[in-house]
Structure 1
Amino acid sequence: MTGAIPAEWPYGAAFWQRLGRSIMDVILHMGAHRTATTTFQHYMRDHVDGLSTQKLAYWGPERARGTVFPGLFRNSIAPKGRNLAKRAEGRIRLFAAQAKVQGVEQLLVSDENLLGNCKQNIRAERLYPAAGERTARISAAFAGRVRRIVLSIRSQDLWWASACALTVSRGHPVPSVRRLANIAQSRRSWRDVITDMACAAPGAQIDVLTFEAVTGQPERVLRTALEREVPTDTRHRWLNRSPDVQALRTGLADQGSDPDLLPDELGRWQPFTPEQTAIMRENYADDLHWLLAGADGLARLTEDTCPNRAERYLPSGTFKKGQRHDQGPIEGHVAQHR
């Protein structure tokens, strides 16, 4: 029947692309938190009308959290025996099918909470411990139509410091010395997060950007997601920045907590010791080295194509390395080194 929604979408966007069949591509911008995701989402709101003429639909956090994904990550049964996860999966497929009927060729979903949230990370004392499971549920909900996942990463010492500042500013307790030490000593890095995501969505290309390279340039995130020219951001925003120490102390006092839980100093709050900071920076350096080396064919690092110092970057023409750039015509997930 024309216009009917199929019970099951064919699994794997790449499969249909190889057959030459036209489908709607799903692109996920999954954060991470504290990497200018809010700035990117405001940029998308500014340009969504113009991009819609290019057959692109955009689901930001308001729609993703409000109407599309609620219940997807819950295993509980609602009243009347309704399975919340199954209902969410059906709702996602329905909305995706409606977008396809309306002529949408690319659906961009941007919500950093798809990976979890900062509070969960701090409680678990690890980076996105459920990244694999959550990515698998999203991929299944879209029935394998996820073509690309875009992830921004940041040096762990600054990421965790920013995450702690955010949660404290929202009324959560100041992390204990023991918890901070456990976080600093955790062996889970961005490499593990990316590997989990790649295993959960094997048909999707994972593109990784560094926060240090894209700060203040939300158009670079969109250009990576769409692989074409996009509108330039002229507003030079950096939204939802971490509050400084004095703002956090004031917030604690307003909440009735002891402001002396934080140091009485100026500038950014760095809750970790210099030794802990050094450990996390070394872990980030290892992550970047792994990505530059091809990420075992699981992901692609998109670097700055306009370097200020040539010696700090790869030679011209080799700014991307990973699964689809190393493979050539070979299908699979193992990089082919030449």
Structure 2
Amino acid sequence: MQVCLHLGAHRCATTSFQEYLRQNATDLAKQGIGFWGPRRTRNGLLHGVLPTPAVGRVEAHAKRARGRIRMNLHQSRARGVKTLVISDENLIGSTRTNLRLGGLYSGVGERMARYAEAFDGQLNTVALNIRSLESYWASALTYAVVRGHRVPSAQQVQNLATSRRSWRDVISDIACAMPGVTIKVLPFETFGGRPEVQLSVLSGQEAPRSYARVRLNSSMRLEDMRAHLMDSAAGALPKGEGRWRPFDETQCAMMRENYADDLMWLAGGAEGLAQLVQDPEQPAAGLNLPHSDVTRGRPHDKQAQDKHNRRLAGSG
């Protein structure tokens, strides 16, 4: 059984992807595709993998977690599951922690090392969604403010814009914690809102299109945020309508450049740590590139030279 650990990340249409899998569970089961989502992973299945203040030894809780996971994997195999997709964005951390620390998933390496140990070598693939940094942080701030987080100050916004930690660091930490596991990176700009394409890439099978356009947890617009928040918090938001854009043009340019560097690193092979997944519906150019203009050539060069010579002849 192929086991794929889908990590999200947050604000990358992960909840919509999970809803798509949940709604199509019956049809996917016929194809041998199983799904564990947050309703299962956060309901005791993974309890003990990460240290908690619970009474008892950490090692004992971790051992029970390994046994619990092993038993559930065995049950999935017995039901004929050939590909199991486990999706939970909270496995790598939380949006609130990212904002508090001012960086992307700072503790992801330790967390993923513990999950790798808990799955005891059963994981084949890890899938990570990434997103352009200015839109990721804008969406994360919107999500947090709507849920009671303070509207960030100008200095806090600047700190996020100038943070040196990028997706490359997150990917490197995961690769270090999970050696031997294939890491597939799926950009939100390509796969966001297309769960059926994302599942096809991860499973190697054609995925159903039912419920593929369900949208959950999308960012609120400014007018909706003001209506949702108390007057004191709503007053700290900028005027106008549409999406809240907390970063200015200079800050956006810096973050776009960092994201472009991440994508270029991935496209260049990511030092063998990860694979950048391309859009399967947009085939790459083959060996023979398309012809753009086959009429230009030496005759054009000769005409240009003749005009040049006439201009020189008449210049005196």
- Give TM-score, length-normalised by structure 2: 0.84
Amino acid at match of 2:285: P
Q: Could you say if the C-alpha distance between residues 279 and 53 of structure 1 is closer, same or farther in structure 2, counting changes exceeding 3 Å? A: same
Amino acid at match of 2:213: H
Instruction: State which of 261, 266, 273 in structure 2 corresponds to 1:291.
Output: 266
Superimposed CA distance per residue, residues 112-142 of structure 1 (whole angstroms, 9 cap, x where no aligned partner): 1111111011011001111211111111111
Within 1, Cα distance between the matches of 2:115 and 2:197? 24
> What is aligned with 1:156?
133
> What is aligned with 2:242?
267
> What is aligned with 1:279?
254
Q: Which runs of 5+ in 2 are unaligned?
A: 288-316
**Secondary structure class of the residue paired with 1:149:** strand
How does 1:200-239 map onto structure 2 within 5 Å?
A: 200-233=177-210, 235-239=212-216
> What is aligned with 1:16?
none
Within 1, Cα distance between the matches of 2:214 and 2:76? 30
**Secondary structure class of the residue paired with 2:247:** coil
Does residue 109 of structure 2 align to residue 132 of structure 1?
yes
Q: How many residues align?
A: 286
> What is aligned with 2:176?
199
Q: Could you say if the C-alpha distance between residues 282 and 80 of structure 1 is closer, same or farther in structure 2, counting changes exceeding 3 Å? A: closer
**Identical-residue share of aligned pairs (%):** 45
Instruction: State which of 57, 61, 69 in structure 1 corresponds to 2:34.
Output: 57
Does residue 90 of structure 2 align to residue 120 of structure 1?
no
**For the pair shown, which has the larger CA radius of gyration, 1 or 2?**
2
How far has the Cα of 1:172 moved from its partner?
1.8
> What is aligned with 1:110?
87
Superimposed CA distance per residue, residues 242-283 of structure 1 (whole angstroms, 9 cap, x where no aligned partner): 011122222221xx6331211121111111222111111100
Q: Could you say if the C-alpha distance between residues 87 and 249 of structure 1 is closer, same or farther in structure 2, counting changes exceeding 3 Å? A: farther
Are the counterparts in 2 of residues 146 and 203 from structure 1 also a CA contact under 8 Å?
no
**Secondary structure class of the residue paired with 1:257:** helix
Superimposed CA distance per residue, residues 1-38 of structure 1 (whole angstroms, 9 cap, x where no aligned partner): xxxxxxxxxxxxxxxxxxxxxxx321111001111111
Amino acid at match of 1:271: P
- Give TM-score, length-normalised by structure 1: 0.79
Superimposed CA distance per residue, residues 149-194 of structure 1 (whole angstroms, 9 cap, x where no aligned partner): 1111110000000001001111122223222211111111111111
> What is aligned with 1:79?
55
Within 2, Cα distance between the matches of 1:138 and 1:30? 12
Are the counterparts in 1 of residues 196 and 209 from structure 2 also a CA contact under 8 Å?
yes
**Secondary structure class of the residue paired with 1:258:** helix
Superimposed CA distance per residue, residues 79-118 of structure 1 (whole angstroms, 9 cap, x where no aligned partner): 3557544433332223223323444332210111111111
Are the counterparts in 1 of residues 13 and 192 from structure 2 also a CA contact under 8 Å?
yes
Amino acid at match of 2:204: E
Amino acid at match of 1:276: Q
> What is aligned with 2:229?
252
Instruction: State which of 189, 202, 206 in structure 1 corresponds to 2:166.
Output: 189
Within 1, Cα distance between the matches of 2:64 and 2:2? 22
> What is aligned with 1:27?
4
Q: Could you say if the C-alpha distance between residues 175 and 72 of structure 1 is closer, same or farther in structure 2, counting changes exceeding 3 Å? A: farther
Does residue 67 of structure 2 align to residue 90 of structure 1?
yes
Within 2, Cα distance between the matches of 1:250 and 1:316? 52
